Chains A and B, each alone.
Chain A
Amino acid sequence: MPEIEGSPGTSMHGVTGREPVLAFSVASPMVPTDTTAKFDLPVDSEHKAKVFKLFSFANPHMRTFHLSWISFFTTFVSTFAAAPLVPIIRDNLNLTKADIGNAGVASVSGSIFSRLVMGAVCDLLGPRYGCAFLIMMSAPTVFCMSFVADASGYIAVRFMIGFSLATFVSCQYWMSTMFNSKIIGLVNGTAAGWGNMGGGATQLLMPVLFEIIKKAGATPFTAWRIAFFIPGWLNVIMGILVLILGQDLPDGNLGALQKKGDVAKDKFGKILWYAATNYRTWIFVLLYGYSMGVELTIDNVIAEYFYDRFDLKLHLAGIIAATFGMANLLARPFGGFTSDYMARRWGMRGRLWNLWLLQTAGGVCCLLLGLVNSLPLAITFMILFSIGAQAACGATFGIIPFISRRSLGIISGMTGAGGNFGSGLTQLIFFASASFSTAKGLSYMGIMIVICTIPVSFVHFPQWGSMFFPASQDVVKGSEEHYYVSEWTEEEKQKGMHQASVRFAENSRSERGGKVASAATPPNNTPNHV
């Protein structure tokens, strides 16, 4: 398969576009089971699991899943651990509003770069060491919070802790070595969503720890520093567990990543070119900045908002803030589900409308969140906003596999980076200046979400149409094959490098929606080898 191993998002390789997001398992005729292998779960010829058994810890597949998502969860806990304690920290360190805002920007900016590097690290050391390396090296940065004495120290430490969010890449990469490509969509989506929940769990955990440590006798300005030890220990513990219990591949650890079949390695420059020159990539980078981006922003500002605006106690503000992040448990898969559901009837047009509706609804609720003066209404709108934004995240990745087949990995990576960039930008614009209140900042952000979601109406696929325009009637230009194969030059086609794209194009005919009878599955539908 012509692909770069380890480039961001290569865990998406093998995604055909046909798999429904909620596929729990793939049946035998589609992917033959290797009956000689002795694993707890049925596996394919590469010993990747064909079944996703959520509540099992069977070695190696499900154990990997749990180690992986919990590591990602832990990094979210560490990155956003400061947010619910800001009311105490700002008094201890004499922070201004700008300092707090800048620290929030710093906390999400580091991972833009670390995620890009992480792919290469996973390539060199394997996802197990990639993950363990990152979380154990970021544990000292978490412990560093005990040294912080002023605003610059605070911003620097939050920046360094933020690097650990790159475990997203190792998590998805690791999943792709363990799970068959036909169920990888659900597996990765679940792992990503549950990892994101860490941003919510930390809003609950840190104030509770703070209260307990205070009750044990520490002064408030010491108690919050001690509280940071817990996320630090979590980092170390998870790192050790990953090293002891985890393994890189179903058959063992990284001796060498063995590839079956002939592998014509694609050129990084080429796949970057096709990603960058496809305008849809940039629209989705923008869009993800206003679904995932605002989710990260809210993780940073919401607890302080409820504490100040409604005069709540710290742990109460934390509980309310936690419900925002914890909604990821169901909201993100929900977005993928609605995307698939709309696609069944209306194809790609349905997916685009679904995304627009969810993200715009989220934006409207964000606008209202900043406007209301009563606590119950604020909580209601916050919850609706969280569902809208997180479902939009899930829906975005229901569409991304179709933008390009060749550059899927890079586009996924760029989209992810766009999320962090959007978060940094919104925090900088709306929450780092004292010229308007946090409530106004929320409302303005809501308006910006609605405006920045409009570009999804410009996404047009010649073979499927767009939100407002139908598919091209041209026989050649309006075919899926033409769209996906156009990414290959004649030379490359002669080498046969485009075969995977052709197969993908055939399978993606389902994106035409219910009116068109789905194309007959070719009789020799061989599974995609890694």
Chain B
Amino acid sequence: GSIYSNSEVCESWFRFLLIESTTVSVLSFKKVIIISMEFCGGFVVGYLLFSCFAAACYGVTFSSLQKTLIVTASSPKGHDQLTVKWAFDQTFPAGTDSTYKTIRVKLCYAPLSQVDKPWRKSVDDLNKDKTCQHKIVAKPYTPSNNSFTWTIETDVPKATYFVRAYALDERQVQVGYGQNTDASKVTDLFDIRAISGRHVSLDIASVCFSVFSVVSLAVFFYMEKRKGNVTQKK
């Protein structure tokens, strides 16, 4: 998963509070007990504040974004590449894209591939949303003539996908989006077949080591039994 900038802001707040509380406790140099109590107290305060802050620190919601980009995806047949094109939807009033600075294109799981897999769940809060876990590309924003050919990476699992592009402002916050499928995510989906990760050489090595394990056990057993028999005979 990716960590959005809002979490980074939260992180730095926490660090600030922690340093604050430790400084305060170090400065009050009276007894060891008081120092440790204040440290603990400051820590606890820092924790609580951070946890409250973290709970309140949610990001942009998906439902608040407008679909201002037109995105298409295609693949040359049989190859492990995906060509993505995106452009600003001119039916929106001019100036809607004035805050757009970057476009981040991601590969997203279709609902079919999210069934029984809570780690791919779609959630409205974009900080918690796990629909789009694979980054295709991030490029500076231009309203038209955008295209990118992506070689599908080896850790992309076998699933049904669509492509979504987020428009980000200069603070890296989502301000618009586009996707190559419809709102209910049923049209224009595509399947990616993954590599299995298995190799013949691995399988052979596995068998060799297994055989070695069993055989060496048997050999030890046999040798010790023989030694036992020999000494018994003596």
Q: Which one, B2, B7, B214, contacts A140 given CB within 8 A? A: B214
Interface size on B, residues (CB 8 A): 43
Given contacts A91-B157, A137-B217, contact A376 B206 (CB under 8 A): no
In whole angstroms, how far apart are the Cα atoms of A94 and B202 in the complex?
A: 21
* Contact (Cβ within 8 A) A225 B198: yes
* Contact (Cβ within 8 A) B118 A434: yes
Given contacts A136-B213, A143-B209, A222-B197, contact A243 B220 (CB under 8 A): yes
Give the residues in chain B near A253, CB-CB below 8 Å.
Answer: 224
Decide yes or no whether B155 CB sits under 8 A from chain A. yes
Give the residues in chain A near B220, CB-CB below 8 Å.
Answer: 132, 243
Given contacts A90-B119, A219-B154, A219-B155, contact A147 B214 (CB under 8 A): no
Given contacts A94-B158, A139-B209, A311-B2, contact A221 B55 (CB under 8 A): no
Decide yes or no whether B195 CB sits under 8 A from chain A. yes
* Contact (Cβ within 8 A) A434 B116: yes
Give the residues in chain B near A129, CB-CB below 8 Å.
Answer: 221
Give the residues in chain A near B158, CB-CB below 8 Å.
Answer: 94
1/0 per residue, CB under 8 A from A, across B189-213: the answer is 0000011111100110111011011
Decide yes or no whether A226 CB sits under 8 A from chain B. yes
Q: Which one, B3, B155, B199, contacts A220 given CB within 8 A? A: B155
CB distance from B140 to the nearest CB of A (A): 26
* Contact (Cβ within 8 A) B155 A311: no
Give the residues in chain A near B203, CB-CB below 8 Å.
Answer: 146-147
Give the residues in chain A near B154, CB-CB below 8 Å.
Answer: 219-221
Give the residues in chain B near A377, CB-CB below 8 Å.
Answer: 47, 51
Which partner residue on chain A sits nearest B113 by CB separation? A94
Give the residues in chain A near B55, CB-CB below 8 Å.
Answer: 373-374
Given contacts A91-B155, A97-B118, A311-B2, contact A139 B213 (CB under 8 A): yes
Which partner residue on chain B sits nearest A244 by CB separation? B220
In whole angstroms, how far apart are the Cα atoms of A437 and B1 in the complex?
A: 17
Which partner residue on chain B sits nearest A437 by CB separation? B118
Q: Which one, B3, B116, B195, B213, contacts A235 given CB within 8 A? A: B213
Q: Which one, A87, A97, A133, A255, contacts B116 given CB within 8 A? A: A97
Which partner residue on chain A sits nearest B121 by CB separation? A437
Give the residues in chain B near A282, CB-CB below 8 Å.
Answer: none
* Contact (Cβ within 8 A) B214 A92: no
Decide yes or no whether A96 CB sits under 8 A from chain B. yes
CB distance from B46 to the nearest CB of A (A): 8
Which partner residue on chain B sits nearest A140 by CB separation? B210
In whole angstroms, how far apart are the Cα atoms of A143 and B206 in the complex?
A: 5
In whole angstroms, how far apart are the Cα atoms of A144 and B198 in the complex?
A: 11
Decide yes or no whether B45 CB sits under 8 A from chain A. no
Which partner residue on chain B sits nearest A89 by CB separation? B197
Decide yes or no whether A52 CB sits under 8 A from chain B. no
In whole angstroms, how far apart are the Cα atoms of A380 and B202 in the complex?
A: 41
Decide yes or no whether B54 CB sits under 8 A from chain A. yes
Decide yes or no whether A240 CB sits under 8 A from chain B. yes
Decide yes or no whether A229 CB sits under 8 A from chain B. yes
B-contacting residues, A84-127, CB 8 Å? 87-88, 90-92, 94, 96-98
Give the residues in chain B near A308, CB-CB below 8 Å.
Answer: 1, 118-119, 130
Give the residues in chain B near A233, CB-CB below 8 Å.
Answer: 209
Give the residues in chain A near B3, CB-CB below 8 Å.
Answer: 311
* Contact (Cβ within 8 A) A87 B199: no
A-contacting residues, B152-190, CB 8 Å? 154-155, 157-159
* Contact (Cβ within 8 A) A311 B1: yes
* Contact (Cβ within 8 A) B206 A146: yes
What 6 additional pairs, Cβ within 8 angstroms, besides A94-B157, A219-B155, A229-B205? A137-B214, A149-B198, A219-B195, A222-B199, A236-B209, A374-B47
* 16 chain-A/chain-B pairs, Cβ below 8 angstroms: A96-B117, A97-B118, A133-B217, A136-B214, A146-B205, A149-B196, A219-B154, A219-B155, A220-B154, A221-B154, A221-B155, A222-B202, A239-B216, A311-B3, A373-B55, A376-B50
A binding-site residues for B, Cβ under 8 Å: 87-88, 90-92, 94, 96-98, 129, 132-133, 136-137, 139-140, 143-144, 146-147, 149, 219-222, 224-226, 229, 232-233, 235-236, 239-240, 243, 253, 255, 304, 308, 311, 372-374, 376-377, 380, 434, 437-438
